[in-house]
Amino acid sequence: MNDSPKKYKLDRSAFQARSASEQVNYGKEHQKLTWQERLKIHRYLNSKAYGYDIDNPPRMDKTTFSAKSRG
């Protein structure tokens, strides 16, 4: 992902109380983005929230899963 992560900033101290109509308008603004743009934002915010490098995300631990036959 070459899109600059600095373009999106996660400010954990910020909070904005909104009315229901303001919230609807906020959602409509984000719906104008393509699904690829929303996915980039999602990946960036997850990397900041969980503290991993966006270009090197952690691998899923597959040792906790097992497959059993139903027969």
What pTM value is reported for the model?
0.50
Please state the domain count of the chain.
Answer: 1
Does 5 fall in a domain?
Answer: no
Does 28 fall in a domain?
Answer: yes
Domain span at residue 25? Answer: 18-49
> Which pLDDT band holds residue 13 (cuts at 50, 70, 90)?
confident
Q: Tell me if 60 sits within 8 A of 24, measured CB to CB.
A: no
Each residue's pLDDT tens digit, 32-53: 889 999 899 889 888 988 889 9
Residue 40 one-letter amino acid: K
